Amino acid sequence: MKLSTEISTGLKKFTNALNDEQFELLLKNLSLSFENPSASLDLPPNVAGADVLKKAYAALFTLIVEGVRWKEDGSIIRNILKDCKLSESRATDILNLLDKQRIPLQISLKQTNFNFPHVLDVTWKMNYIVKSSYSDIDGKALYFIDFIVAKQNWTDEGCKFVTETVNIVCTVNHLQSLVAALRAASRKLIAIGDAAK
């Protein structure tokens, strides 16, 4: 498992900078976050070293989630923590948390769907608003765009694709912004695909 330099730096620099009380607070917050994914870092007011705690939290959170995601065993995580100069007792505490939260995290990761809708078709029409009593877009063109998308729908019987229509109404400026964002996303995907080869 390869970690980014930010995560490695966070583990080396910030996690080692915590005192025992801060480290216990960090582990408690990590455990709560894994049990309730909508929970956020809960620090007491005016806690000392809040910035360091936040950076250490982000680094450890990422390490544990990536470890579970890539199905790494405890020895690999222990080696990563050892490379980051964490003490043996802290590494053991982190591995105990990982073992305790592995199953809930795996379930949560399976439920998290990164399969975004696939655009199958686009239809559009343009209307010109001459005068309107309820809007400030008088004298402007409006574009009505319908994206027909396929989404994955997980049921007890398995995965099925469901089509649905996403409707957008936008002005010329909004449409130009949308097209620019789609082109940028397309370029990034092409670059990622080229880098993977």
pTM: 0.58
CB atoms within 10 A of CB 114: 5
Residue boundaries of the structural domains of the chain: 5-111, 118-196
Name which of 40, 45, 48, 42 is nearest 21 in CA terms. Answer: 48
What is the chain's pLDDT, residue by residue, as a tens digit (197 residues)?
Answer: 778 888 888 888 888 888 888 889 889 988 888 877 667 777 777 777 788 888 888 889 989 988 888 888 889 999 999 988 888 999 999 999 999 988 888 877 776 656 677 888 999 999 887 766 665 666 678 889 999 998 877 666 766 788 999 999 888 888 899 889 989 988 888 887 777 66
Q: How far apart are CA 191 and CA 180, in angstroms?
A: 17
Q: Which two tokens stand for residue 124?
A: 């559009």
Strand partners, 154: 159
